[in-house]
Amino acid sequence: MNSKEKKEVLKKIKQEIKKTSDSISEYKEATKPISPENAIGRISRMDAINNKSVTEAALRKAEEKLNKLKLVEASIDDENFGSCLRCGNEIPINRILLMPQSRNCVRCAK
């Protein structure tokens, strides 16, 4: 991977970190406890609790993605950056730009 491609990847990583951090903030706000004294009906309260569970799962995925993005950002200057961790083949630049947190080629990611 040449330096121009690395700059492009680094820019994409920084954008994804910002976007993911913003999503995490929104998810944290949406996963606050649901007060039992809220004047909502039983069904509405059950829906709110269910939605909270879905949002908590999305929060965990976003936090995992953020951790991976930070790991990739820290390793962008490594000699093997852009190579699959499993097979060692070069990961296509379009895959890296699409999923900068991915450290495996498509074949090994399956």
Q: Where are the domains of the chain?
A: 3-80
**pLDDT at 74 exceeding the cut of 80:** yes
28-52 tens-digit pLDDT: 998 887 666 655 666 777 787 788 8
What is the band of 85 on the pLDDT scale with cuts at 50, 70, 90? Answer: very high
Cα–Cα distance measured from residue 55 to residue 61, given in angstroms and rounded to the nearest whole number: 10
| Residues near 10 by beta carbon (within 8 Å), at least 6 away in sequence | 73, 76
10-32 tens-digit pLDDT: 999 999 999 999 999 999 998 88
CA-based torsion, 51, 57, 63, 69: positive or negative: negative
51-61 tens-digit pLDDT: 889 999 999 99
- Please say whether the beta carbons of 64 and 23 come within 8 A: no
- Quick one: what percent of the chain has pLDDT higher than 70? 92
DSSP tag of 61? H
DSSP tag of 96? H
